[in-house]
């Protein structure tokens, strides 16, 4: 069944609890990238522009000791939200208690209250012990937060694969039919959920990154569902070694994962497409490399990117694709000499998007690469969650989505 979305709720005059993903990168108490704050604005604006009272909250980092409180104080993010949304945000430096309850009680329609890092509830300062009340979905905490509002909107896909008090806990106690997906989460359900449940074909997946071990489940799922699975990144060398090729000094996982890669190739019946060349160097440094066939590596050759012939091969395999999912860069894209493979895949996806294909980039490094390289607006969808997008692609039920009311 379809999940309720924000526009299904009547927010006028209601206290709307909005779980956002403001887990932004910070350095010395300052935000270094506000992308996640900006991404949450449409949901928050919809609530306040339609007469609701927006109660905004998020986790930030991990709280495992008393030292983590100052480092992960979410106050600067509240200031950033105020600046970006262009109106006052009343910040409450607490996760529960009278100050928070009074601030919410005093709200007028169209106003915003934000409270402190939800993961402050993971550690008890009085006893100096880790409690994980938020992270482990403490029932009392979920019920308390639910009591603060009339409706609940989950817009944090990045934590949707975890059952926490601030998503599943609130949804369980807010009342039947009173929870919905925000605009960001709605988009994830539409694109990634659509790729899992009913992709338009041909459906091609591109897998990169460093480790096969991180993506076993999703690769197994994709060789069942996709028409082709193109493999790049450092993980390609684990597959190539499984085929008995000399991979020089390229990164490769332990023998058990080489054996696993061999079994995945056997199961795939030709669906897995491996690189035919790679750009190599003899050291891990940003100097020009040499493109070599995967059949002619020397002992000191270290593969750092897919090669130009592989890009041509991938272009042929992607021709006419209607759904494309990409997770993981093709090489060490942070080094300009080894970014060509990742840029090339970005170009291929941009062209397919123009042709009407649904092009989806999973979260994590591939999303960071696409945004950093200027392709953020040239594909259909860039996921806001790393682990969550992988689990969703794998076909797993995500607690943060499952807890939302059905239409």
Query: What one-character-per-residue DSSP string does 132-156 give?
Result: -TTTTT-HHHHHHHHHT-SEEEE--
Q: What angle do CA 191, 118, 31 make, to 5 degrees?
A: 75
Residue 396 has a pLDDT of: 92
Residue 388 contacts by C-beta under 8 Å, 6 or more apart in sequence?
157, 158, 159, 160, 161, 188, 363, 398, 400
Query: Do the Cβ atoms of 96 and 205 come closer than 8 Å?
Result: no
As a whole number of angstroms, the distance between CA 28 and CA 397 comes to 37
pLDDT at 307 over 60: yes
What is the separation, in whole angstroms, between the first and last Cα of the chain? Answer: 7
Q: Model confidence at 214, in pLDDT bands (50, 70, 90)?
A: confident
- Cα–Cα distance, 252 to 269 (Å, whole number): 23
| pLDDT at residue 35 in the model | 86
Half-sphere exposure of 336 (CA within 13 A, CB side): 1
Mean pLDDT of 225-248: 97
pLDDT in tens, 24-43: 999 888 999 898 999 999 99
pLDDT digits (tens, 9 = 90+) for 41-69: 999 999 999 999 999 999 999 999 999 99
**H-helix segments, 86-122:** 98-105
**Annotated catalytic residue: which of 378, 387, 395, 396?**
387
Give Cβ neighbours of residue 151 (< 8 Å, ≥ 6 apart): 9, 11, 14, 15, 16, 17, 52, 174, 178, 179, 180
What crossing angle do the helices spanning 365-372 and 340-354 adopt, rounded to 10°?
80
* Fold matches, 6-181 and 188-393: yes
Angle of CA points 113, 76, 73, to nearest 5°: 90
* Reported confidence tier of residue 125, pLDDT bands at 50, 70, 90: very high
User: 370 pLDDT band (50/70/90 cuts)?
Assistant: confident
Q: What is the pLDDT of residue 33?
A: 86
Domain ranges in the chain? 6-181, 188-393
DSSP letters, 161-219, are TS--IIIIIHHHHH-TT-EEE-HHHHHHIIIIIHHHHS--SSEEEEE-SS-SGGGHHHH
pLDDT of 156 over the 90 cut? yes
CB 362 within 8 A of CB 165: no
Separation CA 117–CA 250 (nearest Å):
41
Residues 35 and 217: their CA atoms lie apart, in Å, by 29
Q: Choosing from 248, 341, 344, 364, which is the catalytic residue? A: 364
**Which candidate in 3, 14, 36, 241 is catalytic?**
36
Whether 387 sits among the annotated catalytic residues: the reply is yes
Q: Which of 71, 96, 190, 211 is catalytic?
A: 211
| pLDDT bucket at 1, cuts 50 / 70 / 90 | low
What secondary structure letter does DSSP report for 119? G
Region at 248 (left for phi over 0; alpha for psi -120 to 50; beta for the rest): left
Bond prior to 202 in cis (omega within 30° of 0): yes
Model pLDDT, residue 56: 98
**pLDDT surpasses 90 at 285:** yes
Q: Does CATH number 2.60.120.460 belong to domain 188-393? A: no
Is-catalytic flag, 211? yes
190 is catalytic: no
Please name the residue that has the structure tokens 């891990």: 284
- Which one-letter DSSP state was computed for residue 237? H
CATH code for the domain defined by 6-181:
3.40.50.1260
Nearest CA to 124 among 72, 64, 77? Answer: 64
Which of 54, 114, 108, 121 lies closest to 78 in space, CA to CA? 114
For 342-405, the DSSP string reads: HHHHHHHHHHHHHTT-EEEE-STHHHHHHHHTT-TTSSSEE-S-SHHHHHHHTTPPPHHHHTSP
Q: Which residue has the tokens 């669906």?
A: 271
DSSP-derived 3-state class of residue 44: helix
Question: Between the ranges 40-49, 190-199, 359-368, where is the mean pLDDT highest?
Answer: 40-49
Distance CA 196, CA 182 (A): 20
């Amino acid at each position: 069944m379809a999940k309720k979305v924000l526009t299904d709720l009547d927010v006028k005059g209601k206290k709307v609890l909005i779980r956002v993903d403001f887990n932004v990168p910070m350095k010395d108490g300052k935000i270094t990238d506000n992308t996640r704050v900006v991404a949450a604005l449409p949901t928050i604006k919809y609530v306040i522009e339609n007469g609701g009272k927006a109660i905004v909250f998020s986790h930030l980092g991990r709280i495992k000791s008393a030292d983590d409180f100052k480092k992960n104080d979410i106050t600067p993010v509240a200031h950033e939200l105020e600046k970006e949304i262009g109106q006052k945000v009343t910040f409450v430096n607490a996760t529960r208690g009278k100050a928070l309850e009074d601030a919410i009680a005093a709200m007028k329609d169209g106003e915003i209250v934000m409270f402190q890092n939800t993961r402050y509830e993971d550690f008890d300062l009085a006893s100096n012990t880790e409690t994980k009340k938020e992270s482990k979905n403490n029932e009392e905490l979920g019920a308390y937060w639910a009591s603060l509002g009339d409706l609940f909107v989950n817009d944090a896909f990045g934590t949707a694969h975890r059952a926490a008090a601030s998503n599943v806990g609130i949804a369980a106690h807010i009342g039947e039919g009173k929870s919905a997906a925000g605009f960001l989460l709605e988009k994830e359900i539409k694109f990634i959920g659509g790729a899992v449940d009913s992709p338009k074909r041909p459906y091609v997946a591109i897998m990169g990154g460093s480790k096969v071990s991180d993506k076993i489940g999703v690769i197994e799922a994709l060789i069942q569902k996709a028409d082709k699975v193109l493999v790049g990144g450092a993980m390609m060398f684990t597959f190539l070694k499984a085929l008995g090729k000399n991979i020089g000094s390229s990164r490769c996982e332990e023998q058990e994962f080489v054996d696993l890669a061999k079994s995945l190739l056997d199961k795939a019946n030709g669906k897995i497409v491996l690189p035919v060349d790679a750009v190599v160097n003899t050291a891990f440094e940003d100097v020009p490399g040499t493109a070599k066939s995967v059949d002619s590596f020397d002992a000191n050759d270290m593969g750092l990117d897919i090669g130009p012939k592989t890009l041509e091969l991938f272009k042929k395999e992607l021709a006419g694709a209607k759904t494309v999912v990409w997770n993981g860069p093709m090489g060490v894209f942070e080094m300009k000499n080894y970014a060509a493979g990742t840029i090339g895949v970005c170009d291929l996806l941009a062209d397919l998007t123009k042709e009407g294909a649904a092009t989806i980039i999973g979260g994590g490094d591939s999303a960071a690469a696409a945004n950093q390289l200027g392709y953020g607006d040239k594909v259909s969808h860039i996921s806001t969650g790393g682990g969550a997008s992988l689990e969703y692609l794998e076909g797993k039920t995500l607690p943060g989505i499952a807890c939302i009311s059905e239409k």
